[in-house]
Every structure is written in structure tokens, then in C-alpha cells.
Structure 1
Amino acid sequence: MTKFWSTLPILASLATAPAAAQQPVPPTRHELLDSTHAVIATATGARYRRDIEYADSVRGVVREFTLAGQMLRQSHYENLRTQRLDGLTEAWWPNGQLCLREEYTHGKRLGELRLYYENGQLKRRAQYGESGTSTGECYGPEGQLLPFFEYEVMPRYSRGDGGFMAIVQAISNNVKYPRDALKAKAEGRVFVKFVVTKRGEVAEIKIVKGVYPSIDQAALQAVRELRSFTPGQQDGQAVAVSFTVPITFRVQ
């Protein structure tokens, strides 16, 4: 089965990017990827490669290939740093058949999504509007019409209503303000990124934007104490999903 890349938008950009005209255009970047599509430093264990081509200092196109040169995915980004999609995204099966075609506008899926079986048979057709909800059809391998279900479903937290604000509230409840930070009157907003795995576990916790050493550590610990999630889904299959959450520390 072809690996899908989750593109669920969790949090807006942390900062406005500088104007493209004021910044030099970076050169195309080439990366080697392992079997999980994680970036690796050497060719040992490489299964794929990725080319990141900039249109200016912010926008660009990301392409992924097999080591033999077969195109697997191509995505257009409005902001490469924040991974905000804009335009057409396409993915292909290893046999060259189109697997996925979807449209984004300013980081939001908007327009038509099509998904195909490896033999070229249409698997899903859906239309997304401004509200984010979709309408469409699902098909079996032989072309038979199936009951429609959402292509992507966010992870649900096991407390409260399960939504994003329930996660933020749970983290806030776990926070313990460090004494040295209180004494120093250190305060601010920490951004923490983590992944909800296919099993609903919290993993890969790291600081995206810190404030003060002990405050950053308190934020990490508050996220570590989160309970389990109902995993997110993509096309009916459990997938790992990244979250970035803001945690505010303020001396009263």
C-alpha cells in the first residue's frame, strides 16, 4: 500500500513570512529518505529522495521519487517553512498510475479530491467547500458504489469533547510553573509539537518556539502527561498526525 502523508491543518503559521522580494531565493535542496520517509544523512538505508525547489524565499514545490527516479508525489506550497499547501498535490503508485489528486488554497483543502486504486480504478471522489465539509462518492475495486465516509478524521482526545481545545485544556491542567521562572518573572508563549501515533500514543514531543529553559521543560512535561487518543484516520486507515499547541505562561 502506498504511504499517505497526513496534511491535516492544526495551527496557523507562528509568524508572518517576510516579503519574498526582500529575500534571496534558496537553491534547490536534495534530501534522502528512509522507508518511513524520514530524512537521513547518508545513502545507507535510503529508499527515496526529495527535491525542494523554491519559487522565491517562501513558496515552492516538493517532489518525492524512488531512488530509480519514479515520481511518487508532487506538492505546491504557499509557505515551505510552515508546510502550508497551495495549489495542486498529486501522488502516484509505484507502477506509475495516479493515486491521489487534490487541491489546496492557502493551506486548506478546497475543491476536488480524487483517489485511485493501483489498477487506475476510481476509489473516491469528493468536493470540499469553504466549510471544510465534503460531499462525494466512494467505490470498491470493481467500481461498485460504497457508502461515503470522510477521507480524513482528526485524532480525538480521551477527555472533554475530544477536540483541539480539549487538548489545550488538558495540557494547561498539567502545567506546573517552575519556581525559578516565577522568581525571574519569566513568561511567554511556548509552542510544542508532538505526534499522535497510529496507536493513539503521544510521541516525538519537541519545542518549536521556547521562552525560558525551565518553562520549556515544564511545557514538554505537560504534553508527556497527556492521556491516549483515538487515532486519526485517512481513507479509513489509522495514521500518525502532528499537532502544534501554544502554552501560555504568565506571572499573575
Structure 2
Amino acid sequence: MRYLALFFLIGCSSLLFAQQTPYQLFEVDSVAEPRGGQAYFNVFLQTNLRKPIQAEALGIGGRVMLTGVVETDGSVSDIKVLTSLRPDCDREAIRVLSLFKAWKPASKGGKPVRQIVNMPIVFKANEPFTYISGNRISYFDNADKLITDSTQAAFRQVIPLDTNGLPSDDIVLYRLRGKSWKVERRLPFVREKYESGSKLKQRTYRIGYQDAERLWQGMTFSLTSDGRLLEQTYYEHGRPKGPRITYYPNGLVAEKSDEADTKRMITAWYTTGQIKLVREIDSSAPLGTRNPERLSAYWDSTGNQQVRDGNGLAVFRETVRSYADTTKQTSFIEQGTYQNRLKQGVWIGRYADGSYFYEEIYDKGICQKGKARTIGKDTVQYSVPEQLPEFRGGMPALGQFLSQNLHYPPAAQRAKVQGRVFISFVINKEGEVEDVEVLKGIGFGTDEEAVRVVKASSGRWVPGAQRGQNIKVKYNLPINFSLQ
């Protein structure tokens, strides 16, 4: 009996091994493929790929050929390098491919099976640059033209970058005077506390560079306290301009937006790496105007494309905190039709536990009317789903209020201090000001005066609203101090 049992175990073990052996491409009935299609998978790869700083400095381009096994759960295992580019690029290629867990597995005999895939990961070539001892060094002539011959340079710029290519210290511009380099000017490196919108409990920071007015310039990055990248945004004179990327905690890109003429093009992905949506916003429209966003394409989490070329019935799902029991979470399901990229007709949203419901009617992307009901409360009617807080009388009235109530501190006048104090505060449901905080100050009493005048504006605000209900909204306001 023991021999029979042993034979049975060996037989089962052999059968299990045979079932787990991955198939080659030509051995399956339908091959493994990325959900959302190959084109968007390529976009995923290029968006998430971060060329190592040493390879970027050399301008290296080329490809790493990887092999791996697409599992039946959509992930890729046993990733190995078939053709190497260089060790740091190989490691990055493996990292990015392992992030994508949205494969439609191969099938054989009507069942999902494991399949071997070979995947080229392409690193695009770039203009090489000098990178020495953690510093990117550039040379310029007297006309501020970038040159490669250091012997003909009038200026030398030094940008400290860490091993991840992130800024780590001041940018310093040197000018050649005689035979030696003298500091011409510097752009200060700044690391400050930052609320990135992440739901992580860790403290987050923003790093980057600021000009003489303490306005952000160039690419800035937000990081967790343990160094994980959460967001990167390009700034011009303190205003977001150009590309912006947000990341999931695992390092995968969650959303990328780019400026294109007067439009902001936005692409988003699920946590598996599968494409989620493509939409656009008119970035030239004034803040707070009824400016509908336009959705070109949308996929559900299983890879089913619900909106194609701006048309289709979309069903959005997310996890939210229940109104019935704030200690619990529930699903928020919204659905409606897109026509020519705009919401059209009836849209309905509801919490799965029944604690919240709304219904809205749209015409060419503009909400005509809506109603919402929260458990334990009356149904509310509205025409604007989301309303930002507004100073009573609008921006002209706010400007007049500040000019009449802001006092230049004597200490700042004596020191001839000028600039902007950036204040953060909350406008509560009654239009009152709460939680006033100085984000960026210039000292000499100006910070305290900016806080005082913002507090004095309490009660003069129309509160923000969401689907007919007043809500708390965080607001940032620059207070300008300028000597006449």
C-alpha cells in the first residue's frame, strides 16, 4: 500500500509539473496579449521607463530583450534578460515589465494557460551631457548658447543630481573671469512639506528650485519621507505648465498630463498598469467656469473598452467612505453616456450600500439640472455639480479688500522687503476661514500680516459646493507686498 501511495504522489507531482510548464507562442490557441491593446502597452512602457542617470549622461539608446512567463492571473513571472544593453538599463527594464499585471493570458483547449513571452524594452537615445561626481555640467558662450567645447565657454552651469536623477542642491552658474570661475548667480534648492493629495499616512515633501520671488521654476518632485516618488510637475514662474505625472505607491504611473496648445491631454492607468482613460481639458478657460472635460476613450478594469472615439456607455467604480457608517467603505458606481466625447442625457451615481444617490441631466457636457440624496438628509436640487469657493463679488472684490486692509509692516519697509507670501487656508461650509497657514513667507512681519488679513476675510466667502451640499475646500492665496 505504501508503494501504491508513493506511486500516486509521484504521478500527481508529475502531472502538476506538466500543467505548470509554460507554453511557447506557437503552442497555444490564442496568445497572451496586454489588455487595452499593444499600442497602449507601448505607451505604458515608455511612460514608466526611467533611464538611469549614468546611461542618460552617455546618451545611450538601444533595447533590452527580456523573456518572462505570462501567468493566468495576468502578471509576468520569471523575467530574465536575453539581450543586455547595460546592467542599470537591464534592471530598469525588468522593473517596468514586472509592474504590468494586466495581461490577457493565453488559452489552450478553452482554458487559460501560462505562456512564454519575449519583450523588447526600448531606451530612446538622447543628447549626452557631462555628469561628474553627481553634478550635471553644461557650458555656454557669451550669447547664452549651449556649447560642448568647455575651452570656448563663458559660463558653466552645475546642477547636482542624485543617482535617481533628482535635484539635490542649488543650481550654480559660474562666469569665467580671467582664468578662474566665479559664482554669477544661484537658483536655490528647496525641500518643503507638501500635501500631494496622496492617501498615504506618511509625510510628503516637494523638492525643486525657486527664483528670487520664491516661485517654483522647472521640474519639481513630491516624495514620501522614505524617498518614493509621488508626483512631478513642471513650473514656469510659480504656475504649473507642461507635463505632470502622478505615481501609485508601487512606482507605477497613475496619470500623465501634457499641454497641447490650449488643451491639457490626460492619460490614466489602473494599478495593474492597464490603460484606464484618455481625456482632455480646455486649459485656457478661466478657473471656475463651466468647462466640460472631454473623454475620448475609457476601459473598465477587465480591459473592456466602454468608450471609443468619444462615444459609449461608461460605468465608473471607486471605493469611498460610506455615509451610513464612516468607519466602513463601499463602492461608488457612476454611469452614463458619452456622445462626441461629452456627457449626454441622464447620469446616475449611487453608493452600493444605499447611503448616497444622485441623478443629473447633461446636454453637450453641461449639467442642466441634478438632484442628490444622502442618507438621513433631504433631497437637494442643483444645476452646477461642483462649485469652487468664491469671494463675494469675485476676484475684483477680493483685490479691493486686500488693498484696503493689507498694511505694510514697518520692519519690512525699512528692510525694503518685497515679494509674495503664500497662504493656505480652509473655507468651511459657512464661508468662514479656518486653518490658516503660511506656505512660503518673506519675513519681517509680512507673514503675520498676510495671516491677519486672510483671517479678516472670514465670512466674506461663498463656500464651495458639491452636488448641492456645501463642503470644506482648501484654498491657496498669494499675498503680494510691493513697495511703491
Is structure 2 residue 406 aligned with structure 1 residue 202?
no
In the TM superposition, residue 91 of structure 1 has moved relative to its aligned partner by: 3.3
Alpha carbons of 1:147 and 1:194: their partners in 2 closer, same or farther (altered >3 Å)?
Answer: closer
Please give the secondary structure, in 2, of the residue aligned with 1:31: coil
Spell out the pairing of 1:156-195 with structure 2 (5 A cutoff).
156-158=390-392, 161=393, 163-195=394-426
Contact 2:350-2:358 at 8 Å conserved across structures: yes
Spell out the pairing of 1:4-153 with structure 2 (5 A cutoff).
24=164, 31-32=200-201, 54=230, 59-61=245-247, 76=255, 78=257, 86-87=266-267, 91-93=318-320, 96-99=330-333, 112=343, 116-119=349-352, 123-125=358-360, 134-136=366-368, 138=370, 149-153=383-387
Paired letter, 1:239: I
More helix by share: 2
Q: Partners of 1:85 and 1:208 in 2: how far apart?
A: 29
Q: Partners of 1:237 and 1:118 in 2: how far apart?
A: 17
Instruction: Provide TM-score, normalisation by structure 1.
Output: 0.54
CA deviation map 1:64-93 (0-9, x unaligned): xxxxxxxxxxx74659xxxx9955696334
Q: Partners of 2:381 and 2:471 in 1: how far apart?
A: 21
In the TM superposition, residue 175 of structure 1 has moved relative to its aligned partner by: 0.8
In the TM superposition, residue 208 of structure 1 has moved relative to its aligned partner by: 1.9
Q: Partners of 2:363 and 2:450 in 1: how far apart?
A: 36
Please give the secondary structure, in 2, of the residue aligned with 1:177: coil
What is the match of residue 251 of structure 1? 483
Q: Partners of 1:115 and 1:59 in 2: how far apart?
A: 30
Paired letter, 2:385: Y
1:238 to 470, 474, 484: 470
CA deviation map 1:39-98 (0-9, x unaligned): 8xxxxxxxxxxxx864767511468xxxxxxxxxxx74659xxxx995569633456533
In the TM superposition, residue 251 of structure 1 has moved relative to its aligned partner by: 1.4
Q: Partners of 2:418 and 2:382 in 1: how far apart?
A: 48
CA deviation map 1:137-170 (0-9, x unaligned): 53678xxxx9761101233434xx2x23422332
Q: Partners of 1:85 and 1:215 in 2: how far apart?
A: 39
Alpha carbons of 1:215 and 1:148: their partners in 2 closer, same or farther (altered >3 Å)?
Answer: closer
What is the match of residue 37 of structure 2? none
Larger CA Rg, structure 1 vs 2? 2
Q: What residue ranges of structure 1 are gaps of 5+ in the alignment?
A: 1-19, 34-38, 40-51, 64-74, 103-109
Please give the secondary structure, in 1, of the residue aligned with 2:200: strand
Paired letter, 1:117: R
Q: Partners of 2:368 and 2:165 in 1: how far apart?
A: 40
Please give the secondary structure, in 2, of the residue aligned with 1:251: coil
Please give the secondary structure, in 1, of the residue aligned with 2:483: coil
Paired letter, 1:236: G
Alpha carbons of 1:100 and 1:197: their partners in 2 closer, same or farther (altered >3 Å)?
Answer: farther
Paired letter, 2:358: K
Instruction: Provide TM-score, normalisation by structure 2.
Output: 0.31
Please give the secondary structure, in 2, of the residue aligned with 1:60: strand
Q: Which moved more, 1:175-184 or 1:199-208?
A: 199-208
Alpha carbons of 1:91 and 1:61: their partners in 2 closer, same or farther (altered >3 Å)?
Answer: farther
Q: Partners of 1:151 and 1:207 in 2: how far apart?
A: 31
Using CA pairs under 8 Å that are at least 6 residues apart, name the structure with larger relative contact order, 1 or 2: 1
Contact 1:195-1:204 at 8 Å conserved across structures: yes
Contact 1:193-1:206 at 8 Å conserved across structures: yes
Is structure 2 residue 406 aligned with structure 1 residue 220?
no
In the TM superposition, residue 245 of structure 1 has moved relative to its aligned partner by: 1.6
Contact 1:115-1:123 at 8 Å conserved across structures: yes
Q: Partners of 2:419 and 2:231 in 1: how far apart?
A: 34
Contact 2:317-2:331 at 8 Å conserved across structures: no
Paired letter, 1:197: N
Contact 1:76-1:85 at 8 Å conserved across structures: no
Contact 1:151-1:234 at 8 Å conserved across structures: yes
Paired letter, 1:183: R
Q: Partners of 1:111 and 1:25 in 2: how far apart?
A: 40
Alpha carbons of 1:179 and 1:54: their partners in 2 closer, same or farther (altered >3 Å)?
Answer: closer
Please give the secondary structure, in 1, of the residue aligned with 2:201: strand
Q: Partners of 1:224 and 1:245 in 2: how far apart?
A: 12
